[in-house]
Amino acid sequence: MQKDTSITASSLIARNKIIKNGQCIFEYPGNAETLLNETYNHFEIAYPKFHKMDMLCKLGFLAAEILLKGTNHENKYRETETGLVLSNAYASLDVDLKYAKTIQSGASPALFVYTLPNIVIGEIAIRHHFKGENAFFVFKQFDGNFMAGYVNHLFGNHLIKNCICGWVDLFKENYRALLFLVEKDNPENAMAFTAENLNLLNLPEHG
């Protein structure tokens, strides 16, 4: 079991707030769609493909953008060195229903393309050119034990040098994204990447 991996950044999008490393850096009232679009505008992300994404992908994409902001990630790692391990409970149900409505009148390919939860990983990978190990799991709730075990295993087998992992879930107005950046170095004030710490950070008081 890897003892020297640590959580070097975190991002949380929930209840109209954008929280980076425990600090609220933006908030906007309104529904999920409004929040995500305003967040995109506020941080001047300039990635037109964003507007084509379904709600789950917008959520995951933004959570990853916020997570990596200011970390100098693109200069630290090569394309195959970053792992992406995400999970959720609703899979792609939000867009599944939207797509299903279009079948009668003319199935929409742009919606169909999103009817798989791992497309979130695809969008993040395309944006940042990540070609490393990637996986998507469906669980009833965030499982810190599984996540820590699985990701530390990847580090232990030298398959990755850093990992973006966590939870990206959305169904209608019910949304929550909690991502962690996990690296091998151990900066003094960084939290160790363990199941206990993941479960702790997932508690409501933290967001």
Partner 1 sequence: MEKLKKQIIERLNLKDLKPENIGNDQPLFVEGIGLDSIDALELIVLLQQEYNIRLSNAEDGPRVFYSVRTMADYITAHSGAVKVSP
Partner 2 sequence: MSSTSWIAGLGIVTAIGKDLHQNFESLTAEKAGIGAMQWLPSVHANELPVGEVKSGNAALALATGLSPKLPRTALLSCLAAREALEDAGWEKNNSLRTGFISANTVGGMDKTEDFFRLFSTNPVAGRLADVVHHECGAITELVADALGIRHFVSTVSTACSSSANAIFTGARLIRSGLLDFALVGGADALTRFTLNGFNTLMILDKEKCKPFDENRHGLNLGEGAAYLLLASDKGMKQLNKIPYARISGYANANDAFHQTASSPEGTGSFLAMKGALEYAGIPPSAIDYINLHGTGTQNNDIAEGTAIQLLFDPAYPKMSSTKAYTGHTLGASGAVEAVYSILAIQHGIIFPNLRLETPMKEFPFQPVTSCLKNQRVQHVLSNSFGFGGNCSSLIFSAA
Beta strands in 15-65 (DSSP E): 17-20, 23-27
Minimal distance in Å, beta carbon 113 to partner 1?
6
Could you give the CA distance from residue 48 to residue 75 in angstroms, rounded to a whole number? 24
- The site map against partner 2 for 88-107 (x = CB under 8 A) is -xxx-x--x--xxx-xx-xx
Q: Which of 79, 173, 185, 196 binds partner 2 (CB under 8 A)?
A: 79
What token pair was written down for 43? 């941080």
Could you give the CA distance from residue 126 to residue 33 in angstroms, rounded to a whole number? 22
Minimal distance in Å, beta carbon 105 to partner 1?
7
Q: Evaluate whether 111 touches 100 at the Cβ level (below 8 Å).
A: no
Q: Which of 71, 108, 197, 199 binds partner 1 (CB under 8 A)?
A: 108
Q: Which of 150, 191, 195, 197 binds partner 2 (CB under 8 A)?
A: 150
Cα Rg, the chain, nearest whole Å? 17
Site membership for partner 2, residue 114 (CB under 8 A): yes
Nearest to 163 by CA among 185, 142, 189, 133: 133
Binding site for partner 2 (CB under 8 A): 79-80, 84, 89-91, 93, 96, 99-101, 103-104, 106-109, 112-123, 125-126, 128-140, 146, 149-150, 153, 159
Binding site for partner 1 (CB under 8 A): 48, 51-52, 105-110, 113
